[in-house]
Amino acid sequence: MTKKIPIKGDVVDNATAMLYEYFKMDCVSPKALNDALAEGDEDIELSVASNGGDVFAASEIYTALKNYPGKITVNIEGLAASAASVIAMAGDTIRISPTAQMMIHKAWSQSQGNADDLGHEAGVLQSIDDSISMAYQQKTKLSDDEIQGLMRNETWMGAKEAVDRGFADEIMFVDESQPVIINSISEVPSKNAVNKFLNLIKNEKKQSQPEVKKHATLFDHKLAILMQEKENFDE
């Protein structure tokens, strides 16, 4: 059985999580994640929709997940930004919704002080950026220079771009036997076509003992949708 763990709301440290919980605000903290992992060693699914937050809390969560013995599947359902994108990198398989986004950027802080203080803070932030880059490098196999360039430009990635760059493994709801939908650089079916295709697959699964004729009709219907999208694109 697969355990489902939500990664929703801000990523915060354990003390800050108490404040969030008091006001019934969504958050994820190292303690909450560790408590969930301690309940067993079965495979888990992380449902990610978070703007990010505390980079050190995210590091604790990432490390705990990487040390977990079970298989981890990450489902990016909405936005996986900043520290939340680091947590997502701990997945053995990372799946992203066709309507979701991932965003990576350089760490920042609110600092004050003299030139020496600010110079020191700049070095600290660069060290944090180097650490964050390591998590992305291990997943994507991109170089540190490439990763830090993406972080410097505050890069937003849709589902296809995240897969193409290695930040995700697959797009959710898309039939893996149709690689053109995931990786094609041209004539990519629209989200509307993908959603129609998903609904057809769902209806097909509901048929416990489908007849051969029904299978053929459903296949023809799927094919017609994709061909129509291609014709619309060509026009």
- 0.95 surpassed by pTM: no
Q: Residue 13's closest CA among 60, 66, 64? A: 60
The whole-number average pLDDT for the span 21-41 is: 91
Kindly report the number of other CB atoms within 10 A of residue 208's CB atom.
5
Confidence band, pLDDT 50/70/90 cuts, at residue 2: confident
The whole-number average pLDDT for the span 18-37 is: 94
Q: Per-residue b/e over 34-65, b at no fewer than 16 CB within 10 Å?
A: eebbeeeeeebbbbbbbebbbbebbbbbbebb
DSSP-assigned beta bridge partners for residue 81:
103
> For 137-154, what is each residue's pLDDT tens digit?
999 999 999 999 999 999
The tokens 């992380």 sit on which residue? 46
Write out the H or E segment, with its range, that includes residue 2: none
* Calpha distance 74→62 (Å, rounded): 12
> For 171-218, what is each residue's pLDDT tens digit?
998 654 444 333 333 344 455 655 666 666 666 665 554 444 444 455
99: exposed, middle or buried (Cβ count in 10 Å: 0-12, 13-18, 19+): middle
What does the domain layout of the chain look like in residue ranges?
Answer: 3-189
The tokens 């295709």 sit on which residue? 197
Q: Is the dihedral of CA 67, 69, 73, 78 positive or negative?
A: negative
Whether 222 shows a pLDDT value over 60: the answer reads: no
* Calpha distance 77→159 (Å, rounded): 10
What is the predicted pLDDT for the residue at 72?
Answer: 96
> For 73-95, what is each residue's pLDDT tens digit?
999 999 999 999 999 999 999 99
Whether 169 shows a pLDDT value over 70: the answer reads: yes
> For 94-135, what is each residue's pLDDT tens digit?
999 999 999 999 987 777 788 887 788 888 888 989 999 999
Q: Per-residue b/e over 134-151, b at no fewer than 16 CB within 10 Å?
A: ebbbebbebeeeebbebb
Token pair, residue 146, equals 């490439």
Superfamily holding 3-189: 2-enoyl-CoA Hydratase; Chain A, domain 1 (3.90.226.10)
* Calpha distance 225→196 (Å, rounded): 8
Confidence band, pLDDT 50/70/90 cuts, at residue 17: very high
